[in-house]
Structure 1
């Protein structure tokens, strides 16, 4: 089942540039989304598709402003829109490359509510500006993927899989070779902390080697060779993204006698079409992802806030749970993830304004994938 061509063809139809998309059924509340990437970026293209479906379902007007891969351009778009003649009611953006406080400054000055998406304020910046609704009263909060839990669950499932199949080093221990895309990015650091937590919890687990490959498949191919040359007994190959997981897979196939999916277990993050295909083929065993859906969750929070049901009691900074793809669910979920139409998702189901009986939001990839409209 080849996914790459159809998925990439769907992305290529999006016009490049800084553009705006309006929801099909606009409501009185206008939300401007600022993307740091262009419309051809796979992650952001999927994120926008999901947000547009959420906006239509919730009756919000969504305007999307793409950048060129730089935080500076994104910040310029934010200033232009927020200081323009028809500013939005809410802005939604990631605090990429430490740009968050600059955009929050503008939102505060212009009286526009701001919600952070996927990337939050760095710890050193937080020391200065504190948290949401403190110095910046218009900074309502945000939602980010639970990277610590995601890293932990990925590693824990890999350990358990190895133990069940007796895929161990000659010593009987389960050695992990890990790769990270960044030594400074908070998401990467949290995922690594999750790996360490699982290794400490699992009495047979050892992190034998942890390398830096900058999210590059080619770099991962090179770096991983150093890992398994010094630790030939390693059987688990854990990565903070999918491109590096694919690099691990290719390197193992080219340079060792280990067969990915048989006597080498590979796991990573992000649901790219190439990585999904590798899970379908059985070469990648576990793949965390679904955090492109966080924008839909953020719009539910904004919808409720605009209706007078504040999400503050539930937590101003919500965590989004990753989903996990594996041999047991990939055939069912791959066709769903390969399409762009999310109109079947019942976003209203998550609204506390529409469903006061709800406890917490419970945002996760799995929850959205189960939320089919009646």
Structure 2
């Protein structure tokens, strides 16, 4: 560790011990325009591009210098990116701890006196603990509920085969992440409520289109009786639909597909009838995390009761597309970052909110 890092670590320890984890502040060196580092799992997925675009809008409005790094779906690159941000002495870090990188990343930031917000995937420990007082908040989706809603929509739409069973295939996300685990729990919750659904097989699509297309092609080839697919996210659903077309099948007619994320291409697929059901809006979590961390850096710490946010998501079916497009032009809800920041607005409402239809 460098001399600068040691000094920062020492200062952080004294400061945290004096004021406690709830009032954890940014390094004293934070300028009028703080630098916040962001690490995303992959920019090969539309979801994470939406996440970053919304954050960039927030950075422009709040006055934040944003440094975005891509882990490129590699655990070691995630850690390397976090090391780079610590070496740059950023004022705060937002990252998604895929591949069990939470403790490593938080330790690096803690030693450097840097506050952190985790998004999308959470570790087994809570924010604002004695172990990691610099872990100030988690903001992410209610994945189990989303997985359950996807499954219910799928089961209701599939017709049983000659044996009376509804046969489905499952394409999961990145193995071991809380995101994939919780979405799969939601599916399991729905499966426990029915007796006429049979899972023909499961594969891991790693939350990206190309991998999902490849693994589902093999699954479908071995199980041509599949008439429904539960796909763990938007990219996965897109890959599944491409695989089905490659087999000469029409998604939405020959095989029913459900997904998650509300990516633009998936909204279009719902509109055309190729995708039965989508649910999402949680890429907004990046912007919410930015406001939360910005206020922390500016001396407005996260209250303990607001340090673990799990968002209920917006469902979309073909009959709601017109309403969706009316309420969320371009898929984005109206959001004034300064109005949600306690630094700019003393009466600010919480940074996070749930997307809802107006009618």
TM-score normalised by the chain length of structure 2: 0.74
Change (3 A) 1:146 1:108: same
Change (3 A) 1:52 1:210: same
Deviation at 1:113? 1.1
Deviation at 1:186? 2.6
Native 8 Å contact 2:96 2:118 kept in 1 = yes
Q: Which residue does the alignment assign to 2:203?
A: 212
Deviation at 1:148? 0.9
Change (3 A) 1:151 1:269: same
Among candidates 209, 231, 234, match of residue 239 of structure 1: 231
**1: distance between equivalents of 2:53 and 2:291?**
15
- Partner-residue secondary structure (3-state), 1:292: helix
Deviation at 1:52? 1.9
User: Which shifted more, 112-121 or 241-250?
Assistant: 241-250
Q: Which residue does the alignment assign to 1:179?
A: 171
1:319 aligns with 2:306: no
**1: distance between equivalents of 2:198 and 2:263?**
26
Q: How many residues end up aligned between the 2 structures?
A: 321
Q: Deviations over 1:111-137 (max 9, x none)?
A: 22111122223x4xx5xxx75422121
Deviation at 1:90? 2.0
Native 8 Å contact 1:35 1:93 kept in 2 = yes
Q: Which residue does the alignment assign to 1:20?
A: none
Q: Which residue does the alignment assign to 1:285?
A: 276
Among candidates 254, 277, 288, match of residue 297 of structure 1: 288
**1: distance between equivalents of 2:228 and 2:83?**
46
Q: Deviations over 1:156-193 (max 9, x none)?
A: 2223344xxxx333455544322223443331121111
- Partner-residue secondary structure (3-state), 2:259: strand
TM-score normalised by the chain length of structure 1: 0.71
Q: Deviations over 1:11-70 (max 9, x none)?
A: xxxxxxxxxxxxxxx98362413224676753333212101222344x241322323524
Q: Which residue does the alignment assign to 2:16?
A: none
Native 8 Å contact 1:91 1:115 kept in 2 = yes
Change (3 A) 1:220 1:168: same
Change (3 A) 1:310 1:37: closer
Q: Which runs of 5+ in 1 are unaligned?
A: 1-25
Q: Which residue does the alignment assign to 1:192?
A: 184
Change (3 A) 1:352 1:99: same
Q: Which runs of 5+ in 2 are unaligned?
A: 1-29
Deviation at 1:77? 4.0
**2: distance between equivalents of 1:68 and 1:309?**
28
**2: distance between equivalents of 1:161 and 1:309?**
47
- Partner-residue secondary structure (3-state), 1:35: strand
1:118 aligns with 2:120: yes
Change (3 A) 1:80 1:63: same
